[in-house]
């Protein structure tokens, strides 16, 4: 079902004039920062295919996709405090007591202070490499905003990650031409591996916290 919808979007893009393609890519890259299920990487690879057919200009495409990503990142950066406030406000509605307590602890001022300190030390590298995983790129701008990371440094790191990742996707689509969809298969496998590793790591972390809380309760 999802693949069919993606193909319909691709078919629509191919009917657009050049200016329309640029606008689509701009809003697509904004959307991928706000709504993770959106197939942003797929659209970048498609842009590489369009470059191979001279439908769009390589430099202009790179600038448009960079601008869209930066716009999306800034929206999430400045929304960070609001999202944190919502999490603190509605965590009490979580029915599972352990999960509710975890959310409360993770969003506590003390936890946020520790996160901010860590992010100020390592966050720029985290921002840079977050572009290489659809599983974490959605959260990085939010965390940067909550941590009040220097906006100029955040922008530079985020832009560098976008340029590196998008260049790989654009020129992959460009090099493969008519076979550009082959990259999508590689991306699915790559994202599956990365997201699985992230999920296992997060599950392991929460399991550790769960066991630790049980040990505290038994003493």
Q: What residue ranges do the domains of the chain occupy? A: 2-218
Read off the tokens for 159.
């832009």
Look at 99-103, 191-195, 211-215 and tell me which has the smallest mean pLDDT: 99-103
Residue 150: its pLDDT value, please? 84
Residue 69: its pLDDT value, please? 94
Residue 155: its pLDDT value, please? 92
Q: Does the pLDDT of residue 102 top 60, yes or no?
A: no
What is the C-alpha to C-alpha distance for residues 47 and 62, in angstroms, rounded to an integer? 9
Q: Does the pLDDT of residue 4 top 90, yes or no?
A: no
Residue-wise pLDDT for 122-156, tens only, equals: 777 878 887 777 667 778 888 888 888 888 988 99
User: DSSP string of 102-163?
Assistant: HHHHHTSHHHHHHHHHHHHHHHHHHHHHHTT-TTTHHHHHHHHHHTT--HHHHHHHHHHHHH
Residue 159: its pLDDT value, please? 94
Residue 60: its pLDDT value, please? 96
Our measurement of the distance from residue 13's CA atom to the centroid of its chain's CA atoms, rounded to an integer in Å, reads 22
Residue-wise pLDDT for 48-91, tens only, equals: 999 998 999 999 999 999 999 999 999 999 887 777 666 666 55
Residue-wise pLDDT for 21-50, tens only, equals: 999 999 999 999 888 888 888 899 999 999
Residue-wise pLDDT for 170-210, tens only, equals: 999 888 878 888 887 887 777 777 777 767 766 776 666 66
Our measurement of the distance from residue 101's CA atom to the centroid of its chain's CA atoms, rounded to an integer in Å, reads 27
SS3 helix, strand, coil % of the chain, rounded to 5?
85, 0, 15
- Looking at the chain, the whole-number percentage of residues with pLDDT higher than 90 is 29
Residue 92: its pLDDT value, please? 59
DSSP 8-state secondary structure symbol assigned to residue 177: G
Residue 29: its pLDDT value, please? 94
């Amino acid at each position: 079902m999802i693949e069919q919808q993606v193909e319909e979007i691709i078919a629509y893009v191919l009917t657009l004039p050049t200016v329309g393609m640029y606008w689509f890519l701009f809003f697509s890259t904004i959307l991928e920062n706000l709504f993770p299920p959106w197939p942003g990487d797929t659209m970048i690879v498609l842009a590489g295919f369009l470059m191979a057919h001279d439908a769009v200009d390589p430099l202009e495409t790179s600038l448009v996709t960079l601008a869209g990503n930066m716009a999306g990142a800034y929206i999430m950066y400045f929304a960070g405090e609001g999202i944190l406030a919502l999490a603190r406000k509605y965590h009490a509605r979580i029915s599972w007591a352990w999960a509710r307590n975890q959310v409360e602890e993770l969003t506590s001022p003390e936890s946020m202070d520790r996160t901010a300190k860590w992010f100020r030390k390592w966050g720029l590298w985290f921002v840079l490499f977050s572009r290489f995983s659809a599983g974490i790129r959605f959260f990085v701008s939010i965390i940067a905003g909550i941590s009040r990371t220097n906006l100029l440094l955040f922008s530079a790191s985020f832009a560098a990650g976008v340029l590196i990742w998008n260049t790989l996707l654009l020129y992959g689509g460009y090099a493969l031409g008519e076979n550009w969809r082959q990259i999508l298969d590689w991306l699915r496998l790559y994202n599956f591996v990365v997201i699985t590793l992230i999920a296992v790591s997060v599950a392991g972390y929460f399991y550790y916290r769960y066991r630790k809380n049980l040990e505290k309760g038994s003493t």
